[in-house]
Structure 1
Amino acid sequence: MLSLICLATLLPSVLSAPIFGLSLGSDTEAATGATTALSLADVETSLSRPAKFARVAYCSTPSITSWTCGEPCKSLGQVKFLQSGGDEGLIPLYFIAHDLTDESIVVAHEGTDSKNILSILNDAKFGLVDLNVTRFPESAGKGIKVHSGFQQTFERTADGLLAGVLKGLEDTGVKKVSVTGHSLGAAVATMTGAFIKSKVDPSVEVTVTGFGLPRGGNQEWADFLDQNSPVTFMTNQNDPVPNVPPRFLGFQHSGGEVHIVDDSQNNFVECPGQDNENCAQGNSLLKTSVSNHKGPYFDDISFGHSACPDGAA
């Protein structure tokens, strides 16, 4: 996500604009609906386990496979590792697990490794390209375009990941799939969630949750997600990443944003509509905080390799 952060921090000097997307020539109006306060209990009920699984995705493959990644693993209680993929570089890590507490199959995607140039390249390819209708036949003829790098990252593991999820559902008999990730991992999770939902039996509930989610496609992609695979995503204060790529380049968030208002870890609002200007969309370009991207978000949950004590017992 480093390249996207660089783009965000350069925009003020290039464009001299106070607000991301809204006043930079976007063809789509930002939402303006009033936000609704959420309690910490509300957030913990719906977002705690996805956040903790997304945190684990930054740990090394061996520590995840053996489920010995220290507190990130211990905090989740009863979990059975099922499958992993990727190389923690050009192909970011993903893992599949059986969450015995929630009785669900979980897919968690690793975010960008800022120290790995191959990982950064996934973010750098931010041109809009046609969504692969072979994988999403229901999207044909809808004019959907998505972030080139995110789609390429998704494509590298889609088949093996789907096979693992289908096997997990069959072996465990559960009827829920939870897909999650942070940063680049959140962007890939939106595609993974939509893909899985189109391939599993309608009786299986598929949820998608992201943290620090960048924009992943055009207005048609945002609408497609809202209609077919709704996403819940959390934005943290002045994190610049949810506002890139910018809306004036044709990118648009779907609905489902939950915004953290301050650093108390206890002040959250639900943001109606797409790119609501009362939430991350309304952030000033002059007050961005890269540290907000990593966290903490709530319950002292932060993301990144530094948040994972690798291999700790």
Structure 2
Amino acid sequence: MFSWPTLPLFFSIYLGVVVNAAPIAILGRSASTAPVSNASITSDFVRPAQFSRLAYCSNAAVEALDCGGPCDDLGAGTVKTLLTGGNGEDLPRFFIAQDDNLQSIVVAHQGTNSSSPLSVINDLKADLRSLNTTLFPQAGDDVQAHDGFADAQEQTADAILAAVQDGLSSSGYSKVLVTGHSLGAAISSLDALMLSMRLDQSVQITTTTFGTPRGGNQAFADLIDSRIGSTYSFVTHANDPVPRVPPKALDYVHPSGEVHIISSSQTIACVGQENDECSDGNSLLDLSVDDHLGPYFDNIFMSASACPA
């Protein structure tokens, strides 16, 4: 979503809202957690993290799968790129791929390019607004999402839906993995929700995102829980500030499904929405911008610096 040049401004704006906002009701939550095993991390989270990292590489590198470590770690001959798009500025890069390892079609989105003001604007357009009912036919009028995230998702939605449908047909697979980091995580969550409404119900959609900001209001969070919650996870790392924004004072709420990395040796699954034993309970005094980039599982860092120039 951000790196050093833009994060201080972004958080001074949002945290200023939190400090100066009138008191609001605290959402009900079940503040309990469960440990996540190393076996589960390996089977469920490492490969999505690898694909999220790959989304920061150039379209040409992703098309050729020639990008050094981010490509090599996926395994030679196991991934086929089906579509790339976006420009890394006003429209974050994205790709669709066929992964024979997971027997799945993969959708991945890039996070914010902090060197591009046009990219940063996607994050700062924080008004809540209704979803496009053509893309989200089962979303009620009360469901509202972050304006910038929803705008970015709408620009690629038709192309992504068509490419996923083609990929499922040509591969014979019946699974879709949707992933991304930061801004890319927010767009991916919207994609997963859209795909759950537009694809055949026999298709299994798994959503695993990293460093995810809040993406919508209570009705939006509840809709994610009800439609894709059983296979939806958003991974937060240590004292990363991005999962704390936009603030709850602006009526934003995370869905269920948080998986919180406390340290390299301890990861927990967080029960319910806005669990204060996980990222929502981090002290504002301890927030660390560096934690937003990683390391996530298997020492994976999320930024363009992982890709060759």
Rounded to whole Å, the distance in 2 between the matches of 1:93 and 1:14 is 30
Matching residue of 1:188: 187
Higher mean alpha-carbon deviation, 30-39 vs 69-78, is at 30-39
The residue type paired with residue 146 of structure 1 is A
2:9 counterpart (1, 6, 10):
6
Matching residue of 2:27: 29
- Contact 1:176 / 1:204 at 8 angstroms: preserved in 2? yes
Matching residue of 1:238: 239
Rounded to whole Å, the distance in 1 between the matches of 2:244 and 2:145 is 15
1:165: how far off? 0.6
2:252 is the alignment partner of 1:251: yes
Rounded to whole Å, the distance in 2 between the matches of 1:246 and 1:196 is 27
Rounded to whole Å, the distance in 2 between the matches of 1:4 and 1:27 is 28
The residue type paired with residue 53 of structure 2 is R
Unaligned runs of at least 5 residues, structure 1: 18-22
1:87: how far off? 1.1
CA deviation vs aligned residue, 1:117-150 (integer Å, no higher than 9, x gap):
1111110101111122222121134x01110000
1:269 is paired with a residue whose SS is strand
Distance 1:218-1:5 versus aligned 2 partners, 3 A rule: farther
Matching residue of 1:20: none
Alignment map for 1:99-118 (pairs within 5 Å): 99-118=99-118
- Contact 1:30 / 1:277 at 8 angstroms: preserved in 2? no
Matching residue of 2:150: 151
Higher mean alpha-carbon deviation, 1-10 vs 74-83, is at 1-10
- Contact 1:8 / 1:243 at 8 angstroms: preserved in 2? no
CA deviation vs aligned residue, 1:150-178 (integer Å, no higher than 9, x gap):
00000111001111111111111101000
Distance 1:132-1:267 versus aligned 2 partners, 3 A rule: same
Distance 1:283-1:249 versus aligned 2 partners, 3 A rule: same
Rounded to whole Å, the distance in 2 between the matches of 1:47 and 1:177 is 15
Matching residue of 2:74: 76
Matching residue of 2:86: 86
Unaligned runs of at least 5 residues, structure 2: none
1:11: how far off? 5.6
Distance 1:177-1:278 versus aligned 2 partners, 3 A rule: same
2:108 is paired with a residue whose SS is strand
Rounded to whole Å, the distance in 2 between the matches of 1:43 and 1:235 is 13
CA deviation vs aligned residue, 1:47-88 (integer Å, no higher than 9, x gap):
111100000000011110000011111111110111111111
Matching residue of 2:175: 176
Q: RMSD between aligned alpha carbons?
A: 1.7
The residue type paired with residue 8 of structure 1 is F
1:238: how far off? 0.5
1:249: how far off? 0.6
Matching residue of 2:279: 280
Distance 1:15-1:245 versus aligned 2 partners, 3 A rule: closer
- Provide the TM-score with structure 1 as the length reference: 0.92
The residue type paired with residue 211 of structure 1 is F
Matching residue of 1:163: 162
1:8: how far off? 2.8
Rounded to whole Å, the distance in 2 between the matches of 1:93 and 1:161 is 12
Q: Which has the higher contact order (CA 8 A, sep 6+)?
A: 1
The residue type paired with residue 154 of structure 2 is E
The residue type paired with residue 43 of structure 1 is I
Rounded to whole Å, the distance in 2 between the matches of 1:117 and 1:9 is 17
Distance 1:13-1:119 versus aligned 2 partners, 3 A rule: closer
- Contact 2:48 / 2:208 at 8 angstroms: preserved in 1? yes
Matching residue of 2:57: 59
Higher mean alpha-carbon deviation, 300-309 vs 23-32, is at 23-32
1:7: how far off? 3.6
Distance 1:163-1:187 versus aligned 2 partners, 3 A rule: same
- Contact 2:14 / 2:245 at 8 angstroms: preserved in 1? no
1:236: how far off? 0.5
Identity level (%)? 43
Distance 1:62-1:221 versus aligned 2 partners, 3 A rule: same
Q: How many aligned positions are there?
A: 302
Rounded to whole Å, the distance in 1 between the matches of 2:23 and 2:93 is 36
